[in-house]
Structure 1
């Protein structure tokens, strides 16, 4: 058996927590002004780029939902930077085959409703997800769960889930939970860190039912849109969700198992426009916001604001939907790739530290290869290749999202404009199709967009979290059928030896870039901004910030 490291996380208990509590008291005192403790009296308001979708994290796949639910629902394992560390499980171990995972839970952990955490509660959550039926099996609702576990106890053929579930069961013994899989996959142990697997109190689950969703188009059940229905074990409790005001309020949970949150009240306000977010910070209406426009970083620093930069852990790409002619022609895809000046995108749109991507994983991930075919900017070559392919008068629809910024895509319209200009310079007529973000992902997944901008921020440090997300099977999203890639990814994902798996990823990156399903454009370090009177939390390259760490400084 391989045993995990047991060093304390940022929420650790014991001696480290005692020291941190002492420091927290000092910080609290320093934030007092005229006898007023700002951490107790002043809410910290954060400007989020988008609304959360659900307060039951298993029914979400977006970062804005997870930004909120991570403060409420803890997971078995956690991240410190990109390293997997203890969460609700103080220690964990796996068998050599990677099919049996044993978690030793922390003592004295309680849910917000007063229920004590034990292994039975963990198993009830995993068993609940495994037994979802009907519309709950749709990727629209449980995308991450089916990605990690393959399928469900009984797959509903109408939901398009064909793979057998690899979840073999969960056994509870006091504070020890053992989760069994039928086969190893590179998604583990990363899946146990994912916000979507946040552990919910069984007592609160008894208050709701999971039978409201029948088809993939049904809305989520009402309880997922309400505050305080489900109880977690996190440092904050969800107390209000005002949909009209696009505002979510959380209050500190004083019986939290680790270091209690510094700020008593935490509010997430949705401000979709990046200029409006900056103006709200400058006006003092909010104390922090995410996805700072690259052009705003230096002016904010000059004005005395704090703008910490995350490490690079994402990919922006232009996808080629190969069921749309002539994108089924490799030479056409290569010509379009040579036409795009990716360095100009990096230099003019992305923040400092951005870089051109050569493949579909960032260089910080094991398996990145120096041997991939590259498609350097060469408009003359692009023009010639299009002529040789009989596409001198090519007209192509290109989609891009509106009313949103993403860590990998800080200014979608600006990026699109550069790409469109580059394509038109080699004789391609670009049909621009801007789509609201709420409709954008369904449109791209259904194959409605021949070419489109999209990207990914990694969830954990294995190449499969990138490559497997896109290329593990034939989809309408990409519209290509390459068994060599699909089979290679399946074999690599099932390889428990990390060194062997790394070489397999590197070989697959070469194969994928030879096939060219899309053009990797860039990786970039997204920034997050805070007011001068805030002591920020440690920023996360995975955008998994722990808001319980931040506090108000003295003014």
Structure 2
């Protein structure tokens, strides 16, 4: 066959593909999508929550001023159709889309934006119209605190119905990206004031789906928002089912009772891939799973004890036997895919003999007794908290540390670790916005060690804080990258954690589920998903 013949065959086939699209290529209206997940949401007020199970529902109920692209963290307009930034980096002016309404029919205007931020902290604010009183008793607004937003935002003002201006106290490199995070969601002021504390269970936003019902520890039901500014969703309803056991969740997928399965057992992936009616989506995770040692409690205030624990844990064995090919060993607080990652950091090797020596030098030649808290639900960064805890428990026993495993219901687990009740605790993080600040500042800065703490190691380093503030306020990308690489070195030296793993996102589903996209931040946006 000549090159010319090959070319014309290719041309004809390509043309036919456009004229006669593949079956199912055209989105279909209607249907119910049922998602099986490992645990229930804690709450559905996006300013109050800090867990992924809450956010994956809130992603579909609320909008933010800016949003991230479908499969990366580059920014695009959402409620704000445009924005400008002053030359000194201290003033951000947003122009809102016209005609957007909340699910309760009230207008989403500049006053609603001001309310959504001003309710979270005592910052200066100004409405253009009558405005709304701020709630007297709500909170704590965890993310606002984790992000130190009160140190960043001086004021928020509605200039007119469609113009909002944020004035900052200092330049903040990731500020615009922060406005795409869940805590920056715009809520209905009318609903917040009417419902009070119940807003957390009966949320009202402007997103592609509206809240219908929540049966605790069973299911959350959403329905299509017919008036959504970006077009009605293809699906009529979305149901998030809570099915804690991984194997039971798999059986529900195999039987057809659910359409999408979150957090499968890694060992089940080959079986799922053999099923002709199922498919598996994969994406590298922008995450970190770690063991935090509470430095407010003895003996974890002793660096040699923390180093001993780092050397005692066989991380590669955990990756091989529990993650089963869906994870890599971690050595830094940020994933390798993120700029600022320092590959020159040398991980603490698995060395039980050295670990015992360090314990002896620390004054614990016979080891000690402690508790090891294990997550009750699978997470993007840890497929099985109990099994990981058991592996760590066995490793620590070899050097004389007896660790009793403790666990609680997911919401209680988060609340207790944020209050520092644990000795050692398994937890993790998935990046919200693609910036290293979102890992370092929330999880390891001294400001985040204030209760309710994002920094559950209660690690307080003035040296690290100074570097992180410089990195946040710099507009020089090369300087920021250098500073975060330096931050990796400091955290590694001080060892408040045992960084365990970076995992791969894996989501099995029916082949008939179309346009379901995985996002590095694990956002679950379902407005453009449809079923064949």
Indicate whether 1:437 and 2:418 are aligned.
Answer: no
Assess, with a 3 A threshold, how the Cα gap between structure 1 residues 430 and 55 changes in structure 2: closer, same or farther: closer
Deviation at 1:337, TM superposition (A): 0.8
Q: Counterpart in 2 of 1:224?
A: 200
Match of 1:537 among 516, 520, 529: 516
Task: Provide, for residues 327-376 of structure 1, a one-character-per-residue CA deviation record: whole Å limited to 9, x for no partner.
Answer: 22222221221111111111111153411111111112221112324201
Q: Tell me the distance in 1 between the aligned counterparts of 2:135 and 2:235.
A: 40
> 8 Å contact 1:144–1:196 — kept in the other structure?
yes
Assess, with a 3 A threshold, how the Cα gap between structure 1 residues 515 and 23 changes in structure 2: closer, same or farther: farther
Assess, with a 3 A threshold, how the Cα gap between structure 1 residues 482 and 315 changes in structure 2: closer, same or farther: same
Q: Counterpart in 2 of 1:145?
A: 144
SS at match of 2:288: strand
Match of 2:246 among 269, 274, 284: 274
Compute the RMSD of aligned alpha carbons: 2.6
Match of 1:197 among 181, 184, 187: 184
Deviation at 1:530, TM superposition (A): 0.9
Unpaired stretches in structure 1, ≥5 consecutive residues: 1-21, 32-38, 152-163, 210-220
Deviation at 1:165, TM superposition (A): 6.6
SS at match of 1:441: helix
Q: Counterpart in 2 of 1:16?
A: none
Assess, with a 3 A threshold, how the Cα gap between structure 1 residues 452 and 292 changes in structure 2: closer, same or farther: same
> 8 Å contact 1:66–1:196 — kept in the other structure?
no
Assess, with a 3 A threshold, how the Cα gap between structure 1 residues 328 and 108 changes in structure 2: closer, same or farther: same
Match of 1:127 among 111, 114, 118: 118
Unpaired stretches in structure 2, ≥5 consecutive residues: 1-18, 123-133, 451-455
Indicate whether 1:70 and 2:59 are aligned.
Answer: yes
Deviation at 1:313, TM superposition (A): 0.5
> 8 Å contact 2:374–2:405 — kept in the other structure?
no
> 8 Å contact 1:372–1:514 — kept in the other structure?
no
Assess, with a 3 A threshold, how the Cα gap between structure 1 residues 63 and 494 changes in structure 2: closer, same or farther: same
Q: Tell me the distance in 1 between the aligned counterparts of 2:243 and 2:426.
A: 22
> 8 Å contact 1:292–1:527 — kept in the other structure?
yes
SS at match of 1:319: strand
> 8 Å contact 1:351–1:526 — kept in the other structure?
no
Q: Counterpart in 2 of 1:367?
A: 340
Task: Provide, for residues 291-312 of structure 1, a one-character-per-residue CA deviation record: whole Å limited to 9, x for no partner.
Answer: 1221111111112322211322
Pairing of 1:144-223 with structure 2 (within 5 A)? 144-151=143-150, 166-205=153-192, 207-209=194-196, 221-223=197-199
> 8 Å contact 1:373–1:510 — kept in the other structure?
no
Match of 1:469 among 442, 461, 471: 442
SS at match of 1:109: coil
SS at match of 2:206: coil
SS at match of 2:113: helix
> 8 Å contact 1:104–1:175 — kept in the other structure?
yes
Indicate whether 1:109 and 2:100 are aligned.
Answer: yes
Q: Counterpart in 2 of 1:261?
A: 233
SS at match of 1:167: strand
Assess, with a 3 A threshold, how the Cα gap between structure 1 residues 133 and 200 changes in structure 2: closer, same or farther: closer
Structure 1 range deviating more: 514-523 or 172-181:
172-181
Q: Counterpart in 2 of 1:507?
A: 486
* Aligned length in residues: 494
Assess, with a 3 A threshold, how the Cα gap between structure 1 residues 61 and 297 changes in structure 2: closer, same or farther: same
Q: Tell me the distance in 2 between the aligned counterparts of 1:497 and 1:86.
A: 24
Assess, with a 3 A threshold, how the Cα gap between structure 1 residues 531 and 51 changes in structure 2: closer, same or farther: same
> 8 Å contact 1:317–1:455 — kept in the other structure?
yes
Q: Tell me the distance in 2 between the aligned counterparts of 1:120 and 1:336.
A: 51
Match of 1:300 among 269, 272, 283: 272
Q: Counterpart in 2 of 1:214?
A: none
Q: Tell me the distance in 2 between the aligned counterparts of 1:165 and 1:501.
A: 18
Q: Tell me the distance in 1 between the aligned counterparts of 2:105 and 2:24.
A: 29
SS at match of 1:104: strand
